[in-house]
Copies of this chain bind each other. A is one copy, B any other.
Amino acid sequence: MNKILTISEWEIMRVIWTLGEATSNQIIHIMYSKKKWQPSTVKTLLNRILQKGFLKTNGARRNRLYSPTIREHDAMSQTLQTTINSMCSMAIGSALIDLFDDIPLSHSDIVKLQTLLTQKIKNAPETINCDCLPGDCEDCK
């Protein structure tokens, strides 16, 4: 599946991931208090997400339960990966470093990240090549 959740769809998915499963009614109420979205908006989004395959239902004709078909975690990585794939490989590192300044990370996240980096540095290349131009990019040296 190469579909991608949009920003609005993410808002819906977040509440379902958090609740584990939910009825449209629940989601409608939550989205109203979070965003003042109208019931129809939520219903439309729910169907679109269903079509994209990120949600499934228990099949009930009424008070149907919606639940995720993918872990939040995996969806996040996927979405971020897609975004990053359209950017210059050479510049990703420093952009992420910048980003990290603003992103709230828990103590344990940081420890995990440090462990990962300690591993990763062992085989890290000296430089990452720019892949913005066809062929070799002389300007990137």
Q: Which residues of A come within 8 Å of B, CB atoms?
A: 7, 10-11, 14-15, 17-20, 30, 33-34, 72-73, 76-77, 79-84, 86-89, 91-107, 109-114, 116-118, 120-121, 124-128, 130, 132-134, 137, 139-140
For A76, what are the chain B residues with a Cβ–Cβ distance below 8 Å?
87, 91-92, 95, 98
In the bound complex, CA of A130 to CA of B117 (Å): 26
Closest B residue, CB atoms, query A7: B86
B95, B112, B128: the one contacting A80 at CB < 8 Å is B95
Residues A99 and B81 in contact in the complex (CB < 8 Å), given A128-B106, A132-B14: yes
For A81, what are the chain B residues with a Cβ–Cβ distance below 8 Å?
99, 102
For A30, what are the chain B residues with a Cβ–Cβ distance below 8 Å?
133-134
B83, B100, B121, B133: the one contacting A116 at CB < 8 Å is B100
For A77, what are the chain B residues with a Cβ–Cβ distance below 8 Å?
95, 98-99
In the bound complex, CA of A12 to CA of B133 (Å): 10
For A134, what are the chain B residues with a Cβ–Cβ distance below 8 Å?
30, 33-34
